[in-house]
């Protein structure tokens, strides 16, 4: 009996260690619940839904088809973490430039011909300033009517990344982009 009590107390000492190990994941999850992430307002950006890989693709395609003027992209890179981890399936809708709002996540084409998905942080005279949540500074190039491609209206995080890559390879209608990382 005393042996069981001793083992129980060892077990109780391991619980705080286990919680410390889980802390970063729990913090990232809690961090994305707020409209403010790392000091940036993201209230106009949809929170991702975690679903099975096959369901993520089908739900994203269905949303895009229903809208008619939307597209589905696979996000890669770390610049939008913790909100959109690499491998997030994004549904983007075309919007008029004058309808953009602070906190939305926009897709734009850079002068270097890269597709970039970042959060709109401020309206300036020469266009919108955008920033990746993990980047230390905002993008040097503004988002303007001429380079705006759309805004994120839904996001799905597949639960199995390997299945995600297989589905993307099989489906030629999926466009790929890399978030601008610095």
Summarize pLDDT for 33-63 with one digit per residue, the tens.
899 999 999 999 999 999 998 899 999 999 9
Q: How many helices (H) and strands (E) does the chain have?
A: 3, 10
Considering the domain 40-178 in this protein, what is its CATH number?
2.10.109.10
Name the residue ranges covered by the structural domains of the chain. Answer: 2-33, 40-178
pLDDT tops 90 at residue 1:
no
Kindly state the average pLDDT of the residues 74-90: 95
Say if pTM beats, i.e. exceeds, 0.75: no
What is the mean predicted confidence (pLDDT) over 11-15? Answer: 47
pLDDT for residue 30 is more than 70? no
Q: In the beta sheet, which residues pair with residue 91?
A: 72, 154
pLDDT value at position 125?
96
The pairing of strands 49-51 and 148-158 is: parallel
């Amino acid at each position: 009996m005393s042996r069981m009590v001793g083992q129980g107390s060892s077990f109780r000492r391991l619980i705080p260690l286990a919680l410390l190990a889980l802390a970063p994941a729990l913090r990232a999850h809690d961090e994305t619940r707020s409209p403010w992430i790392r000091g940036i307002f993201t209230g106009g950006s949809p929170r991702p839904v975690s679903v099975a890989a096959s369901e993520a693709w089908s739900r994203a395609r269905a949303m895009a088809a229903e809208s008619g003027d939307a597209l589905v992209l696979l996000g890669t890179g770390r610049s939008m973490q913790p909100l959109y981890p690499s491998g997030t399936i994004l549904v983007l809708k075309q919007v008029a430039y004058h309808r953009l709002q602070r906190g939305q996540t926009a897709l734009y084409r850079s002068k270097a011909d890269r597709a970039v998905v970042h959060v709109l942080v401020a309206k300036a005279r020469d266009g919108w300033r955008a920033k990746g949540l993990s980047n230390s500074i905002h993008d040097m190039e503004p988002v303007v009517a001429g380079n705006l491609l759309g805004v994120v209206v839904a996001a799905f995080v597949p639960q199995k990344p390997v299945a995600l890559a297989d589905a993307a390879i099989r489906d030629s209608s999926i466009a790929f982009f890399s978030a601008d990382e610095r």
